[in-house]
Amino acid sequence: MTKVIQIEKDLSVLDEAAEKLASGGLVAFPTETVYGLGANALSAPAVANIFVAKGRPQDNPLIVHISNTDMLSQIVKSVSPAAQKLMDTFWPGPLTIIFEKSDTIPMTVTAGLSTVAVRMPSHPVAQYLIEKSGVPVAAPSANLSGSPSTTRASHVIADLTGRVDYIIDGGACQVGLESTVLDMTGDVPQILRPGGVSLEELQAVLGEVAYEPALKDSRQVPKSPGMKYRHYAPKAELYLVEPQYTDELVKQLAVCRNQGKKTGVLCCGDTQYEADFKIDCGRDAQAYAQALFDALRQMDDLGAEVIFAEIPCDEGGIVPALMNRMLKASGGQVLAEGITTKIERL
Ligand code: TXA
Ligand code: MG
């Protein structure tokens, strides 16, 4: 049985879920990025249940969430001065740092790797829950494997009811895309997954920071196992639309109409298209990022068969993360001169 807890002013409504978490249960909770599906990171059987509940491939490691830096000593071997600087600047917040793992963390968490990903979320509900449970919490995004990540409790309820012990409803997530995953175990810090903290922000603190080559070249094997899977995909076919190709979008909508297909458009602003369903995701990339996963799920619920998603015009900041998720969700299908050019763009 899954129990849904609504957040009230007094966070002690979370105490029973925190107790369940500590004793081996599964609890889905809001963070500032997306909802997470948590288990006690020190318990291999509890962590194994996450993989079952999500249908997650066994070779995809989990992020360990903490509420204070004292918890780090049982998770990682050591903290370098550069990693310390990152923690001082970006924690709590949407940055996941990869360290060499300590022996206390079971191999189930790291999928056999000798490194471990750690993050301190800033969402007050996540912080309270972890602190109260008293254990580090292993948590992937709280969606069925392959589906768009969950940014509202209703998404989690749709995907995980009957599969977890508690779902905590803390409203819509603020960032809307997952954290940046940064590998600090090599010579040069490497972004394995772009996210809520941008390349520019990291460079301002660390100096040299690189994107992992596989992010730009799909022929290379990614260092982060999760990046090799098709992800975030709606049930409908999805095509991205470059800002300068809206004429082509109008044409393709007509083609779909003639074929009797139900169409949906994710718009940047209040644009006029003849589609069955339209969702305005906002003109700026940050608003779009917050809206994206919810919009993809809404389109599936509405019964759209083909979705066209306009790409916002902005650059930098959250844009590489947004492009990364949009390209993965669409399988790299982009509308330019006709359907479909595959592009690789970060
Ligand atoms: O914002 C987020 O990061 C959310 C919230 C819940 O914190 N969590 C999240 O977890 O997105 P998940 O499991 O969906 O994505 C974790 C990513 C995967 O791509 C995984 O392969 C990578 O982090 N990862 C985890 N541990 C790693 C490690 N030791 N080395 C390389 N990549 C790792
Ligand atoms: Mg995920």
- Does the residue 288 lie in any domain? yes
Probe target for ligand 1 pocket from 35, 109, 141, with the most ligand atoms within 8 Å of CB: 141
Pairing mode, strands 27-29 and 36-40: antiparallel
Per mean pLDDT, which range of 50-54, 198-202, 232-236 is the poorest?
A: 232-236
Probe target for ligand 1 pocket from 64, 109, 224, with the most ligand atoms within 8 Å of CB: 224
- Does the residue 301 lie in any domain? yes
> pTM for this structure?
0.96
Residues 244 and 199 in one domain: no
- Does the residue 230 lie in any domain? no
| Ligand 1 close to Cβ of residue 224 (< 6 A) | yes
What's the number of domains the chain is made of?
2
List of E strands, the chain: 3-6, 27-29, 36-40, 63-65, 95-100, 115-119, 137-138, 166-169, 180-183, 190-193, 210-211, 237-241, 263-267, 277-280, 306-310, 333-336, 338-342
* pLDDT tops 60 at residue 111: yes
| Ligand 1 close to Cβ of residue 311 (< 6 A) | no
Probe target for ligand 1 pocket from 29, 34, 63, with the most ligand atoms within 8 Å of CB: 63
Residues 270 and 300 in one domain: yes
Residues 165 and 287 in one domain: no
Residues 201 and 266 in one domain: no
* Integer Cα distance of 254 and 245 in angstroms: 15
* pLDDT tops 80 at residue 290: yes
- Give the CATH number of the domain where residue 247 resides: 3.40.50.11030
Average pLDDT, the chain: 94
Residues 41 and 98 in one domain: yes
Residues 180 and 140 in one domain: yes
**Sheet (strand 338-342) strand order:** 277-280, 263-267, 306-310, 237-241, 333-336, 338-342
Residues 20 and 164 in one domain: yes
Higher-confidence residue of 9 and 17: namely 17
- Does the residue 314 lie in any domain? yes
Residues 104 and 242 in one domain: no
Assess contact for 71 and 237: CB atoms under 8 A.
no
- Does the residue 227 lie in any domain? no
- Give the CATH number of the domain where residue 112 resides: 3.90.870.10
Amino acid at 204: A
> How would residue 342 be classed by pLDDT, with cut points 50, 70 and 90?
low
Residues 255 and 156 in one domain: no
Q: What is the DSSP letter of 148?
A: P
**Mind listing the pLDDT tens digit for each residue in 250-268?**
999 999 999 999 999 999 9
- Does the residue 221 lie in any domain? no
* pLDDT at site 66: 98
The residue range of the domain holding 277 is 237-342
Give me the torsion for CA of 96, 97, 99, 104, rounded to 10°. Answer: -30
* Integer Cα distance of 108 and 96 in angstroms: 18
Mean pLDDT of 218-232: 76
How far is C-alpha 125 from the geometric centre of its chain's CA atoms? Answer: 18
Mean pLDDT of 14-42: 98
Buried b (16+ CB within 10 A) or exposed e, 27-59: bbbbbbbbbbbbbbbbbeebbebbbebbebeee
User: What spacing in Å lies between the alpha carbon of 89 and ligand 2's midpoint?
Assistant: 25
pLDDT above 70 as % of the chain: 97
Residues 159 and 126 in one domain: yes
| Ligand 1 close to Cβ of residue 227 (< 6 A) | yes
- Does the residue 146 lie in any domain? yes
Mean pLDDT of 148-155: 97
Residues 209 and 242 in one domain: no
- Does the residue 126 lie in any domain? yes
Assess contact for 336 and 209: CB atoms under 8 A.
no
For 264, the token pair is: 């949906």
Answer with the one of 183, 215, 247 that is the final residue of a domain: 215
| Ligand 1 close to Cβ of residue 43 (< 6 A) | no
Tell me the β-bridge partners of 183: 98, 190
> How would residue 221 be classed by pLDDT, with cut points 50, 70 and 90?
confident
* Integer Cα distance of 105 and 56 in angstroms: 19
**CB-based burial of residue 328 (10 Å sphere; 0-12 exposed, 13-18 middle, 19+ buried)?**
middle
Residues 189 and 272 in one domain: no
Assess contact for 46 and 25: CB atoms under 8 A.
yes
No. of helices (H) and no. of strands (E), the chain: 11, 17
